[in-house]
């Protein structure tokens, strides 16, 4: 009897089990990108410095990374492009080795200038403001969990003010239209902050920011209180409810727990009747 009840309970639990989410890491070291054959070359690919985009597949899910910044001038604000950049345009990704990571060099910067060649919120010896971001484009919707950082400079408050925000495909299209500012792409109030975890260089989202195919990651303030920050990207961690592999789970109708238990009780009653029928009386 007890054994039969245990079997029923196991069947019930199995029937009610749902697909669990799985965390996936994308390690952006050059060796991983080479082995996957997903390097998308820029003008200087032979030296592993310059790229228009990079792509890496992990556990069946691909992420394509591009660099962006509000480094295009807005002539309606001033005739001086260097001081009044506002329009978003694509920049280059620069790779500075496995111990440092990837930075963004926008249209106003030089790859030889430090920290201009990182992902930062300032430029050209602090003369004007550029807000660099990296766009993470996944092959399926994910919940971003955090990033790994290599080299960084955390400004005056000794805190790296990193943030992430989920955006739509229309927002991504607007980034290329030559007229959009960051305010047109996302609202800063929707950006989730990312905080350092322990002594490692892993930074995790402080709250659940939802699920999306497209994520922007960068510094969540633009020279706020003259707190200039910069970092280089080493890795990405995200969660997918498909369990990895890029294949959605097959939906199978689940019988209710009550129905299964009722069938189990019917099985017990039947077994008792059979036992009584063939019982020998001495």
Over the stretch 69-114, which tens digit does the pLDDT of each residue have? 888 765 555 545 445 568 899 988 888 888 899 999 887 777 777 7
The CA distances from residue 279 to 2, 268, 269, 275, in Å, are: 21, 17, 15, 6
One domain, residues 61 and 163: yes
The pLDDT score that the predictor gives to residue 50 is 74
pLDDT exceeding 90 applies to what percent of the chain?
35
One domain, residues 95 and 7: no
One domain, residues 121 and 74: yes
One domain, residues 44 and 160: yes
For residue 207, count CB atoms less than 10 angstroms from its CB and return exposed for 0-12, middle for 13-18, buried for 19 or more: exposed
Q: What is the rounded average pLDDT of the residues 139-144?
A: 96
Mean pLDDT of the chain: 74
The token pair at 192 is 């989730």
Q: Are strands 85-95 and 50-51 parallel, antiparallel or unpaired?
A: antiparallel
CB 205 within 8 A of CB 145: yes
Q: What is the rounded average pLDDT of the residues 228-234?
A: 91
Which region, left, alpha or beta, applies to residue 246 given φ > 0 means left and ψ of -120 to 50 means alpha?
Answer: left
Residue 54, SS3 per DSSP: strand
pLDDT digits (tens, 9 = 90+) for 148-166: 999 998 877 788 889 999 9
CB 176 within 8 A of CB 66: no
pLDDT digits (tens, 9 = 90+) for 4-25: 445 444 544 444 444 567 899 9
Query: What residue numbers bound the domain in which 118 lies?
Result: 20-240
One domain, residues 10 and 111: no
pLDDT digits (tens, 9 = 90+) for 262-273: 545 455 545 555
Residue 120 has pLDDT above 60, yes or no: yes
Q: What is the rounded average pLDDT of the residues 165-186?
A: 93
One domain, residues 93 and 146: yes
pLDDT band of residue 36 (cuts 50, 70, 90) is very low
One domain, residues 161 and 210: yes
Helix (H) or strand (E) holding 171: helix 169-174
pLDDT band of residue 249 (cuts 50, 70, 90) is very low
169 found inside a domain? yes
Domain total in the chain: 2
One domain, residues 1 and 67: no
The token pair at 144 is 């971003």
Nearest-CA neighbor of 139 among 218, 240, 20? 240
What are the backbone angles phi and psi of residue 11, rounded to the nearest 5°? -65, -40
The pLDDT score that the predictor gives to residue 177 is 92
One domain, residues 12 and 41: no
Q: What is the rounded average pLDDT of the residues 18-36?
A: 72
One domain, residues 146 and 270: no
The pLDDT score that the predictor gives to residue 127 is 55
65 contacts: CB under 8 Å, gap ≥ 6 = 28, 53, 54, 55, 56, 93, 102, 134, 135, 136, 137, 233, 236
249 found inside a domain? no
The token pair at 87 is 């329009």
105 found inside a domain? yes
77 found inside a domain? yes
Q: How far apart are CA 161 and CA 157, in angstroms?
A: 9
The pLDDT score that the predictor gives to residue 227 is 67
The pLDDT score that the predictor gives to residue 198 is 85
């Amino acid at each position: 009897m007890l054994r039969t009840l245990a079997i029923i309970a196991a069947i019930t639990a199995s029937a009610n089990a749902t697909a669990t989410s799985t965390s996936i890491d994308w390690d952006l070291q050059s060796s991983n990108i080479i082995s996957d054959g997903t390097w998308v070359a820029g003008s200087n690919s032979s030296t592993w410095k310059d790229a228009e985009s990079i792509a890496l597949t992990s556990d069946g899910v691909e992420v394509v990374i591009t660099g962006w910044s509000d480094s295009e001038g807005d002539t309606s604000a001033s005739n001086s492009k260097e001081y009044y950049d506002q329009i978003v345009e694509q920049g280059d990704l620069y790779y500075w080795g496995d111990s440092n990571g990837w930075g963004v060099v926008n249209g106003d910067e030089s790859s030889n200038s430090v920290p201009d060649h990182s992902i930062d919120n300032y430029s050209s010896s602090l003369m004007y403001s550029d807000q660099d971001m990296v766009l993470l484009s996944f092959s399926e919707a994910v919940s971003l969990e955090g990033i790994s950082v290599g080299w960084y400079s955390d400004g005056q408050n000794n805190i790296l003010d990193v943030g992430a925000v989920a955006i739509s495909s229309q927002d991504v299209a607007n980034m290329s239209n030559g007229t959009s500012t960051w305010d047109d792409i996302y609202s800063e109030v929707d950006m989730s902050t990312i905080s350092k975890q322990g002594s490692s260089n892993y930074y995790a989202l402080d709250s659940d920011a939802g699920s999306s195919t497209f994520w922007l990651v960068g510094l969540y303030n633009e020279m706020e209180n003259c707190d200039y920050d910069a970092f280089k990207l080493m890795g990405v961690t995200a969660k997918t409810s498909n369990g990895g592999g890029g294949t959605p789970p097959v939906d199978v109708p689940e019988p209710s727990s009550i129905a299964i238990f009722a069938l189990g009780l019917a099985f017990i009653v039947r077994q008792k009747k059979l036992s009584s029928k063939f019982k020998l009386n001495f």
